[in-house]
Amino acid sequence: MKVLVVGGAGYIGSHTQYELIKAGHSVVILDNFSTGHKEFIHDKAKLYYGDIRVKDDVDRVFENESGIDVVMHFAAKIVVPESVKVPLEYYHNNVEGVRVLLESASAHGVKSFVFSSTAAVYGEPSKGVCEETDIPAPINPYGETKLACERMIKWVCEAKNMNYMIFRYFNVAGSDESLKIGYKRDIATHLIPLAIESVLGLRGPLSIFGSDYDTKDGTCVRDYIHVSDLAYAHVLGALYLSKGNKSEIVNLGSSSGYTVLEVINEVKKVAEIKYNLDCRREGDPAILIASTKKAKSLLGFTPKYSLLDMISSELSFRKKQVNK
């Protein structure tokens, strides 16, 4: 397959690029390096610099690169508290970006579209385990923009005779085993990167946001998936679409939940970490776990890496970055 990876210099996009190349596919990347990194581009990938909200930038890629089978979109803003502060930036980047990309891709005869969505579209599910058939009810602008994209993709793909795969990610962590790519952002916003920064002395003790939830130890439960597993699922998803199969929405997680304290206990297996109990963070559901039956039955996907693999690979990547 020939795949256009939009946002291929970012965390998940770069891992997907690596998995596609490992599986022998041809990769073209479009990125504006707003949060991505030039050094994350694989030697075998062809890079275009540009912004997906600018139609000429996107058209240029399709005009130069004939025969793109699948477009994958990763070029989104993803920080929930930031989305609450500057919602219009999220609508502009996430929704307008996808609109322009769909317009250009469909006009150039692309047949398949793979989209990075999120468990945030489920909002605060009462039962904790999320099925793809649950009615989405996001509780922040980030989740709203992803849901708006999901719906736009459905209508556009139906009108233009394209098929799509929407992946709803749960909590993604870890680094590729090469340690050439990984989680690298100016400000960490997620539990495992923050824990690793505490371990490496790049910040103070980790704060646990809330210890009075209705869970086994009072801290929130999340479903963690290794970024390389998640990236590989995109290869399977693209192959599925390229065979002309019908469009689907699929959760990507592991179907196991870990509390924040359990995550910290895993960190303690490889490093020392200081932490303290803090108050709840606004908008955190107590439990978010993926039902992964569909990923398995449709794509034959099961994750191969453990939570400890995520923590230790991410720690090795960050150590390598710090020592550069």
Q: Which residues are known catalytic residues? A: 142
* Cβ proximity to ligand UDP, 171 vs 254, nearer residue: 171
Region of 150-158, 177-185, 202-210, 248-256 interacting with ligand UDP (CB under 6 A): 202-210
* Cβ proximity to ligand UDP, 51 vs 309, nearer residue: 309
- Binding of ligand UDP at residue 295 (CB under 6 A)? no
**Cβ-closest residue to ligand UDP?**
220
Specify whether the CB–CB gap between 257 and 294 falls below 8 A: no
- Binding of ligand UDP at residue 245 (CB under 6 A)? no
In sequence order, which residues have a C-beta less than 8 Å from that of residue 98 and are 6 or more positions away?
Answer: 52, 73, 115, 149, 152, 153
Region of 7-15, 135-143, 187-195, 249-257 interacting with ligand UDP (CB under 6 A): 187-195
Region of 24-32, 54-62, 123-131, 203-211 interacting with ligand UDP (CB under 6 A): 203-211
In sequence order, which residues have a C-beta less than 8 Å from that of residue 15 and are 6 or more positions away?
Answer: 176, 181, 227, 228, 230, 231
* Cβ proximity to ligand UDP, 171 vs 292, nearer residue: 171
Q: CA torsion, points 226, 71, 65, 33, in degrees to nearest 10?
A: -60
Checking 179-182 for CB contacts under 8 A at 24+ apart, the result is 179/313, 179/316, 179/317, 179/320, 180/39, 180/40, 181/11, 181/14, 181/15, 181/18, 181/40, 181/317, 182/11, 182/313, 182/314, 182/317, 182/318, 182/321
Given 70, 110, 129, 208, the residue binding ligand UDP (CB under 6 A)? 208
Report the nearest approach of ligand UDP to the CB of residue 191 (Å). Answer: 3
Residue span 263-292 as binding mask against ligand UDP, x where in contact by CB under 6 A, dash where not: ------------------x--x--------
Region of 38-46, 54-62, 190-198, 227-235 interacting with ligand UDP (CB under 6 A): 190-198
- Binding of ligand UDP at residue 29 (CB under 6 A)? no
**Pairing of β 112-118 and β 70-73:** parallel
Given 116, 163, 171, 215, the residue binding ligand UDP (CB under 6 A)? 171
HSE (side-chain half, CA atoms, 13 Å) at 318:
24
Burial class (CB in 10 A: 0-12, 13-18, 19+), 180: middle
Given 21, 84, 179, 194, the residue binding ligand UDP (CB under 6 A)? 194
- Binding of ligand UDP at residue 101 (CB under 6 A)? no
- Binding of ligand UDP at residue 190 (CB under 6 A)? yes
Q: 226 to each of 67, 123, 187, 267, 280, how far by Cα in Å?
A: 31, 22, 20, 15, 26
- Provide the binding-site residues for ligand UDP, judged by CB under 6 A: 171, 190-191, 194, 206-209, 220, 222, 260, 281, 284
